[in-house]
């Protein structure tokens, strides 16, 4: 690590210090109306932040990481719906049947709706 790049930067930053020293400077330099000096300061902070985090953040793709990860496992939990949830689910399925086939199934939308009512 280039000691000049991280000179004066503590390894144990508080959240407030991180926001002041990195987050605000970087965001300000990326704004459309940022001045040249703000853009330069943003780039410098990004270089320092990258230098600090490069040994801790693995940017390898899935083809490399899959070799190191344990095998995938799934857990299926079967849960009973209460009366209110069962009623809502039945109404929801009826509404889905009224939709055109192309709009009928959206797994993520369905999951989000059902997640909200099961809470």
Domain residue spans of the chain: 1-61, 83-118
| C-alpha dist (Å) from residue 22 to 52, 90, 94 | 12, 51, 52
Q: What is the rounded (10 degree) CA torsion for 105, 106, 112, 116?
A: -20
Asked whether residue 119 carries a pLDDT value surpassing 80, the answer given is: no
pLDDT tens-place string over residues 43-93 = 999 999 988 888 877 777 778 778 878 888 888 888 888 898 888 888 888
pTM: 0.43
């Amino acid at each position: 690590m280039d000691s000049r790049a991280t000179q004066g930067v503590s390894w144990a930053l508080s959240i407030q210090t991180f926001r002041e020293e990195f987050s605000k400077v970087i965001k300000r330099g990326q704004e459309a109306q940022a001045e040249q000096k703000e853009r330069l300061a943003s780039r410098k902070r990004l270089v320092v932040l990258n230098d600090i985090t490069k040994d801790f953040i693995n940017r390898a793709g899935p083809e490399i990481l899959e070799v190191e990860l344990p095998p995938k496992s799934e857990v299926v939990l079967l849960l009973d719906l209460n009366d209110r949830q069962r009623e809502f689910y039945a109404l929801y399925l009826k509404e889905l049947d009224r939709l055109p086939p192309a709009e009928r199934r959206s797994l993520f939308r369905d999951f989000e709706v059902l997640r909200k009512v099961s809470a």
